[in-house]
Chain A
C-alpha cells in the first residue's frame, strides 16, 4: 500500500519528467544529458550545494544536541513552551524568513555592520534556522526514553560526565543522530528560497538551478541531468547513513527517565540552548515588530486587516479563510503520513530472516526518504504531465495537496519512529506470542507503549510540516482554496500600502497557530501509558 502510493505520486511523475529530458525530440539521447554534467557551471553548482548542506547540517547537529538534552531530559519552568516555540521556524514560509533575515542583516539592518548580507554565511544561518528543530525533535525524543542506568553505572565507576557522554550516551543515540542529520542534509541540499533570497543571486544550488532550467529556460535535458545527479547522490547518502545508523544490537532497554532538575554540570548545555533560542528569536522578533508597524506608528491594523482581501483586492479569500483551509489540509496530511509512516516503520524494523530480506527492508527504508531529495519543481511539473489520464486523473482532486504534503512529511514520521521501534527487543514480542497473544495484541502491548510518544512527536511534526509546506502546495493548491503560505506569498508580491504588513501579520498568526497546536500535542503525552 505505501509502495503503491509512493509509486503513483512520486516515481511516476519524476520519471515522466526525466523521460522528457532523455528523449528530447522523441529519440533517446543520453549523450546530451551527460554532456550537461561536463559544464563548468554545473561543477560549481554541485560543489556549492554539497558545501552549504554539509556545513549547515554540522552546525544544526552541534547546536541541536545540547538543546535536545536540555529540553527533553531536564525539568525547568516553561520547558514545553520553549519546545513548541522551537518548531515555529519550521513552518514559516521561506519568503517571509528570507525577508526577515535580510531586514536583520541588510546594509541598513541592526546587524548590517557584520556585512553578511548575500554571503554564504547568511545562507548557512538561514538553513540552520529552519532545520535545528528537526535535530531537537528527533534526537530529543530518543534521548527522552533512553535508559539512564548505564550512564549512572559508568559514572559510579568513576567516569567523568564527558566520558559518560562520549562512551555511553552518544553511542546509544547514534541512530537517532544519524537519522536527524540525514533528514537535515536532504532539506538543506534541496533548499530553494533561502539560497536565492539570502545569497543575492551569487550562489546557485542544484535545486535553484533545476528551478531556473525548468521554469524559465525549459531546458529539460539539463534539468533531467541534474535531477538524476540529485537522485544518485541521495541514494548514496542514504546507503551511507543506513550503514552509520546500524548498530550490532539496536535493541535498547527502555525506561522513561523522569526529567530532572538542572544541576551545575548542565549549565554549559543550558547556555547553548539559550544562545540557540536567541538566534531563532532574532528573525522572529523582526517579523513581529514589522507586523505591528503601521503608517508612522504602532498598531494592530495589520491584524485587523486579515479578515479582508487586502488592499486593491490582492487576495481572492481573506487570510482567516486560508487559515481554516490550512488547518484542514494539515489534519489530512497528518493522518495520511502517520498511517503510511507506521506501516513503513513496522515493515522496516521487523527482524529479517535472510540477508536478502534485510537488504530489501533497508532498501525500502531508503526508498521512502527519496521524496525529500528530489526537486519540488520536477515533482510539480511531473504531476501535470503524468497524472492526467484515468484511472489516475488527480490534477483536479482536492486531496492532491494533502497527499503531496504527506509525502514531504512521511520521511520525518518514519525517521522519528524507526529508531524507537528498532530499539524494541524482539524477544519481548516472542514472549508475548508464546504467552498466547495474537499479532494485534502483541503490537498493542509491546510496540504501542514504546512508540506512543514518538508517534505523538511525529504527528506534531507532520502537522507543522504540512502547515508550512509551500513548494508543492503553491503548485497544486486551487486558487479558491489557498493555504496560508500561498496567501502570504501573494500578499508580499503585491504592491499596496498594507499588503506587506499583512503578510508579516499572517506569518505571525501562522507561527502562533503552530506553536499552539504543538503545545496541545505535548499535553497529550501520557506518562502512565509510556512508562508501562
Chain B
C-alpha cells in the first residue's frame, strides 16, 4: 500500500512541478510596442512609480526594459567592460564620483538634452560634448539623533572636527569607503576639507571610536539609535533627506537632523550608451527623466532632490529635509586619478 501511495504522491509532485516551471513561459507577456524596446541599465536603487513608467511607454511608443543590479560602482564598471557592445541603450545612475571613468572609457555617446531651469548647475565639469545629463542630486551628510542628545544634555556636533572631539567618543557609526558609495562620499568630503592631511583626520576619527560597517543599512538600521534595530550610536553617516523619514505619526518635528557642514554632494547622471541599438529610444528616456513628472517623483522614489528648479517637494521634505548651501566637492578628474590610492591608504589606516 505504502508504495502505491508513494507513487501517487510522486506523480502528483511531478505534475505540480511541471506546472510551476518557468520553462515554456513566453518572456514577453504583452504585444510588443511599435517602436521596439528601449533597455535601461541602472543600479538597484532605481525606482519610479509604475504608472509613470507606463506613461513613458504609451507616450513614446517604446517598451521599457529595466535591468538593475549592484551599486553605482558596479554599474559603471559593467558599462566600461561592455563598452561598444552595451547591455542596454541608456544608463542611469553613474554619479560624479565614477563619472570620469565612464567618460575616459567612451561609454556614453553625446546627447545635448534640453535641460530644465536650474539643471545646468549640476552638469559634470569637463563634460564638454554633453555625454552625461544630470538627473538628481543628493548630499551625504552626518546625521544626529536629536532626542538622544537632548536626553543626555549634550550639544550635538556640528562640524567634521567635532566628530574627532573626545566629547563625542564612541558615538559615530559610518559605512566604510571601500564597500559603500555613501562611505566613499564621506571620504571625499574629508579629502575636500583637509587636503593632503586627510589621513591625519581619519587617524583621529578612528582613535575617537568611530565604528565602520559594510554598508549604509548596517550603520543606520543596526547601530544608529533611531534605526530599525534601535542601536546605541546617536551619530550616523546618511543623507540630507534622511530626517524626513524619522518623523513619527502625528509629530511636527523630526527626531533627527543632518549636519549641513559635513556634506558631500552626489549628482546622478543619465546618458545614451555608445553603440546602443535604439539611440532614439535612449534619448527619449533621458528626456523623460528630465520631465516635470519624474523630477517631482524623485524624492519619494529614490530619496534624492530633483535637479530642476521649482518642482514641488513632498510636504515632509519641504519641512524636514534641508539641503546644504555649500557642500564639499572634489573635482571628478581628481577622483578618477586618485581613487585607487586614496582607498588603499584609507583601508590601511582603518584596518590597523
Residues in A with CB closer than 8 Å to B340 are 217, 219
A171 interface hit (Cβ, 8 Å): no
- CA of A478 to CA of B65 in the docked complex: distance in angstroms? 9
Instruction: Indicate if the CB atoms of A479 and B66 lie closer than 8 Å.
Output: yes
A197 interface hit (Cβ, 8 Å): yes
Instruction: Indicate if the CB atoms of B44 and A398 lie closer than 8 Å.
Output: no
Kindly name the residue among B6, B21, B222 whose own CB sees the greatest number of chain A CB atoms within 10 A.
Answer: B222
Instruction: Indicate if the CB atoms of A528 and B77 lie closer than 8 Å.
Output: no
B300 to chain A, nearest CB (A): 5
A399 interface hit (Cβ, 8 Å): yes
Instruction: Indicate if the CB atoms of A388 and B47 lie closer than 8 Å.
Output: no
Instruction: Indicate if the CB atoms of A335 and B232 lie closer than 8 Å.
Output: no
Nearest residue (CB) in B for A108 is: B232
Instruction: Indicate if the CB atoms of A500 and B221 lie closer than 8 Å.
Output: yes
Residue of B81, B179, B229, B249 touching A384 (CB-CB under 8 A): B81
Nearest residue (CB) in A for B222 is: A102
A185 to chain B, nearest CB (A): 23
Nearest residue (CB) in B for A198 is: B214
Instruction: Indicate if the CB atoms of B215 and A493 lie closer than 8 Å.
Output: yes
Q: A99-B222, A217-B343, A495-B245 are in contact. Are A313 and B231 (CB under 8 A)?
A: no
Taken residue by residue from 463 to 484, chain A's Cβ proximity to chain B (1 for < 8 Å, 0 otherwise) reads as: 0000000000011111110000
A471 to chain B, nearest CB (A): 11
- CA of A492 to CA of B220 in the docked complex: distance in angstroms? 10
Residue of B179, B238, B300 touching A201 (CB-CB under 8 A): B179
Instruction: Indicate if the CB atoms of B20 and A526 lie closer than 8 Å.
Output: no
A524 interface hit (Cβ, 8 Å): yes
Residue of B23, B67, B78 touching A381 (CB-CB under 8 A): B78
Instruction: Indicate if the CB atoms of A328 and B20 lie closer than 8 Å.
Output: yes
Instruction: Indicate if the CB atoms of B85 and A388 lie closer than 8 Å.
Output: yes
Residues in B with CB closer than 8 Å to A397 are 27
A283 interface hit (Cβ, 8 Å): no
What is the number of residues of chain B that contact chain A, defined by CB distance less than 8 Å? Answer: 72
A371 interface hit (Cβ, 8 Å): no
B204 interface hit (Cβ, 8 Å): no
Give the contact stretch, choosing among A149-157, A159-167, A208-216, A416-424. A208-216
Instruction: Indicate if the CB atoms of B229 and A201 lie closer than 8 Å.
Output: no
Instruction: Indicate if the CB atoms of B301 and A388 lie closer than 8 Å.
Output: no
Taken residue by residue from 215 to 230, chain A's Cβ proximity to chain B (1 for < 8 Å, 0 otherwise) reads as: 1111100000000000
- CA of A328 to CA of B24 in the docked complex: distance in angstroms? 12
Interface residues in B142-197 by Cβ distance below 8 A to A read 176, 178-179
Nearest residue (CB) in A for B299 is: A312
21 A–B contacts, CB within 8 A, in A order: A99-B221, A200-B212, A200-B214, A202-B350, A212-B179, A214-B77, A215-B70, A290-B228, A313-B301, A316-B66, A331-B20, A335-B17, A385-B82, A398-B27, A494-B45, A495-B303, A500-B221, A500-B229, A524-B10, A526-B3, A528-B2
A288 interface hit (Cβ, 8 Å): no
B116 interface hit (Cβ, 8 Å): no
Interface residues in B31-81 by Cβ distance below 8 A to A read 44-50, 65-71, 73-74, 77-78, 80-81
B22 interface hit (Cβ, 8 Å): yes
A107 interface hit (Cβ, 8 Å): yes
The 5 closest A-B pairs by CB, nearest first: A500-B228, A196-B214, A108-B232, A526-B6, A479-B66
- CA of A231 to CA of B54 in the docked complex: distance in angstroms? 46
Residues in A with CB closer than 8 Å to B178 are 201, 212, 216
Interface of A is mostly: helix
Interface of B is mostly: mixed
Taken residue by residue from 211 to 225, chain B's Cβ proximity to chain A (1 for < 8 Å, 0 otherwise) reads as: 111111110111100
Residues in B with CB closer than 8 Å to A102 are 218, 222, 229
A496 interface hit (Cβ, 8 Å): yes
Binding site for A on B (CB under 8 A): 2-3, 6, 9-10, 13, 17, 20-23, 25, 27, 44-50, 65-71, 73-74, 77-78, 80-82, 85, 87, 101, 176, 178-179, 211-218, 220-223, 227-232, 238, 242, 245, 248-249, 300-301, 303, 339-340, 343, 347, 350-351
Instruction: Indicate if the CB atoms of A388 and B82 lie closer than 8 Å.
Output: yes
- CA of A397 to CA of B67 in the docked complex: distance in angstroms? 12
Residues in B with CB closer than 8 Å to A249 are none
Residues in B with CB closer than 8 Å to A106 are 222-223, 229, 231-232
Interface residues in A88-130 by Cβ distance below 8 A to B read 95, 98-99, 102-103, 106-108, 118
B76 to chain A, nearest CB (A): 8
A277 to chain B, nearest CB (A): 24
Residues in B with CB closer than 8 Å to A485 are none
Nearest residue (CB) in B for A99 is: B222
Nearest residue (CB) in A for B20 is: A331
Instruction: Indicate if the CB atoms of B78 and A398 lie closer than 8 Å.
Output: no
A523 interface hit (Cβ, 8 Å): yes
**Extra contacts besides A328-B20, A398-B22, A528-B6 (18): CB < 8 Å:** A98-B218, A103-B222, A108-B231, A201-B212, A201-B213, A201-B350, A217-B343, A218-B80, A295-B248, A313-B49, A315-B47, A328-B22, A388-B87, A476-B69, A500-B229, A501-B228, A529-B3, A529-B6
